[in-house]
Structure 1
Amino acid sequence: MFIFHQGGENEQMNEMTGRFSHSDLVSRIAWLYFIKGFTQLQISQRLNISRMQVQRSLSKSKKEGLVRIQINDPRTTCFEIEDDLKSRFSLVDAVVVPTPREKNGIKSALGYAAAAYLLRHVSDNQIIGVGWGTTLDKMSRFISGKSRQNIRIVSLVGGSGKKAEESPYEVAFKFADALKAPCYYISAPAIVDSPASRSILIEEKSVNHTLNIAKSSDLAILGIGNADEDSTLIEAGLLSSQEIKKLRAKGAVGDICAHFYSLQGQPVDQGYMNRVIGLGLQDLRKIKTVIGIAGGKNKVAAIFGALTGGLVDVLVTDEQAAENILR
């Protein structure tokens, strides 16, 4: 929507020179461009002035309030928040969706937005690393469209103890199926009993091969978990509530691929991390583009830590969570 404020006697010409006065010219150029839909070239030809003069005049008309541009869509607030997030946390990109009225709608809204973002940016011959969780499971259902050539999907973390739709294996399979791509799984648990067990398993040929593919990912898509009682790691049977409490006591606010970090984005509890089979936080930082997806008030601290630590390059979140992150 364009609001045009007419300034002065626009149609009067300077009787001595036969030309419009400066203020009249600015108004006329604005009217032709914003109201009548003329191009800058058409305006310059009609008024017998240069295109540079047209450009300067249009800029002046906006700066001085002659023309005010108003977009009648509540999503413009989200666009502004996206810019604020990119500026404050040096992100490559940010996608902010309006927070749904119903709490259960957040994951679907984020999944839809993340799927649309992925489809705009995925290219032929890419390796796409995939995390896990309920939001990524929702996202997989919205991936459709033209398939890309020579795409490979790889899971970034081992499997979970319980078979579930949002398990690492299931999420990776759904992405691969949607993109018509082969899928590589880490054939080992995400979290094992001891560092010694991990050392043995990661030397297994198939596990080592998949981990190397994962480290070569061009793009990674990750859920951001929290360090609370509703952690997906507890639901998956990978950690107990007592273990989560201990990690939280050590400063953990969130996890990515089962690796916990602090509010400053720094790793928490190295001993625990030595039990995780999958890409670590340092491995993820080496991937060109990491897309983190999370929303809701309960994820604010986890998202903030991930942003502060530079763990993601692109954030997909909801409006209310973003506003709390920026406070």
Structure 2
Amino acid sequence: MASGTNIMTNSTEFERLRRLHKVLVMFYEQNISQAKIAEMTGLSHTTVNRLVKEGQERGLVEITVKSPFGNMTDLGAIIAELGRIENAIVVPEVSTDPQITIKSTADAAVAALFETLQDGMTIAISGGVGVSAIVEAMKPKRSYDVTVVPATGGVQGKYYTDVNHVSMAMAEKLGGRALQLHAPIIAGSREARDTLLDVRSIRDVFDTARTADIAVMGIGSVRETTSTYLSLDGDIDRDDVLGAGACGELLAHLINADGKPCDYPANERVVALSLDELRQIPHRFAIASGQHKAEPIASILRGDFLTTLAIDEQTAYAVTDILKGDA
């Protein structure tokens, strides 16, 4: 008699599980509404709802959300691995207009930045179009008790992209405070640079920058005749820059293809955090867009200067091709 009871119990349980599985398949795989399932199976809507919940609780259902930007996520992961950084954010191409591309890239950079930003932090920044775009894209939901400090000297005649203007603008957006650095980005000589760095007001700014929690920078190209770097100082000669093996620029330091500082006179006159000091900052964000930046980006990644990179899709493909050649 007991054996018959077990058979009946097992049979009933089997039928209940079969019904449970059928409802889960209809709901999750066939995309049939619970109301329609109730109508098709003769079960009450309450029973269908209960079975769906039971399937979730039993772990019989695994829900996977597919990103519409799945390829971009994969591409970012590849760059992060090849470039040995924590995060590479690849922005899908929405336009061939460079202005729209840099804006979209800046939006993505800001989202990543706000995931890190906390009250009490110090942000060291460079000037430039990319960082200016980041500041423009900032729309914080609250004020942040932060300090924004220049990581480099300034550039005359480049008001809207000058580091002092950009640092003030970022601090205003965040509700924080900004320090100003009254010195050129490249001094007239190595001795002049050393003298400037010994001025108390300048030394104090760089002391604060060295203790920053976050760095936000642009990546510069140097090979095009329109490169901003070539206009930083009257003694910079493009042929000499290329002859020194320069591939990119970071905080006005020329970097070669191996990610090392170039043997170039202007590198000894840069008024900025040193590259070694930069590496000591925990969170180092860079923004770059445009395929002409692919080689500079690859060189910067080889130097282990970044933790996070925001980049557009087409440039990301070009950078990936370059870095795969290193593997």
TM-score bucket (shorter structure): 0.7 to 0.9
Query: Counterpart of 1:251?
Result: 245
Query: Counterpart of 1:272?
Result: 266
Q: 1:45 to 1:290 in 2, by over 3 A?
A: closer
Q: 1:42 to 1:170 in 2, by over 3 A?
A: farther
Larger deviation, residues 290-299 vs 258-267: 258-267
Q: Residues 32 and 43 of structure 1 are in contact (CA less than 8 Å); yes or no, is this contact kept in structure 2?
A: no
Query: Of the candidates 164, 167, 171, which is equivalent to residue 172 of structure 1?
Result: 167
1:192-207 alignment to 2 at 5 Å? 192-207=187-202
Superposed CA RMSD = 3.0
TM-score (norm 1): 0.80
Query: Counterpart of 1:3?
Result: none
| Percent identity of equivalent pairs | 22
List runs of 5+ in structure 2 lacking aligned partners. Answer: 1-7, 35-48, 322-327
Query: Counterpart of 1:86?
Result: 80
Looking at structure 1, the residues matched to 263 and 18 of structure 2 have their Cα atoms a distance apart, in angstroms, of 67
The aligned amino acid for 2:228 is T
TM-score (norm 2): 0.80
Alignment coverage as a number of residue pairs? 296
SS of the residue corresponding to residue 129 of structure 1 reads strand
| Cα distance, 1:71 vs structure 2 | 4.4
SS of the residue corresponding to residue 17 of structure 1 reads helix
Query: Counterpart of 2:316?
Result: 322
Q: 1:79 to 1:27 in 2, by over 3 A?
A: farther
Query: Counterpart of 1:185?
Result: 180
Larger deviation, residues 144-153 vs 246-255: 144-153
Matched, 1:140 2:135: yes
Q: 1:58 to 1:260 in 2, by over 3 A?
A: same
Q: Residues 126 and 152 of structure 1 are in contact (CA less than 8 Å); yes or no, is this contact kept in structure 2?
A: yes
Query: Counterpart of 2:304?
Result: 310
Matched, 1:230 2:226: yes
Matched, 1:77 2:74: no
| Cα distance, 1:270 vs structure 2 | 5.7
Query: Counterpart of 1:261?
Result: 255
List runs of 5+ in structure 1 lacking aligned partners. Answer: 1-13, 63-68
Q: 1:262 to 1:28 in 2, by over 3 A?
A: farther
Query: Of the candidates 79, 90, 115, which is equivalent to residue 120 of structure 1?
Result: 115
Looking at structure 1, the residues matched to 175 and 10 of structure 2 have their Cα atoms a distance apart, in angstroms, of 73
| Cα distance, 1:281 vs structure 2 | 1.1
Higher helix share: 2
| Cα distance, 1:246 vs structure 2 | 1.4
| Cα distance, 1:145 vs structure 2 | 2.3
Looking at structure 1, the residues matched to 111 and 298 of structure 2 have their Cα atoms a distance apart, in angstroms, of 23
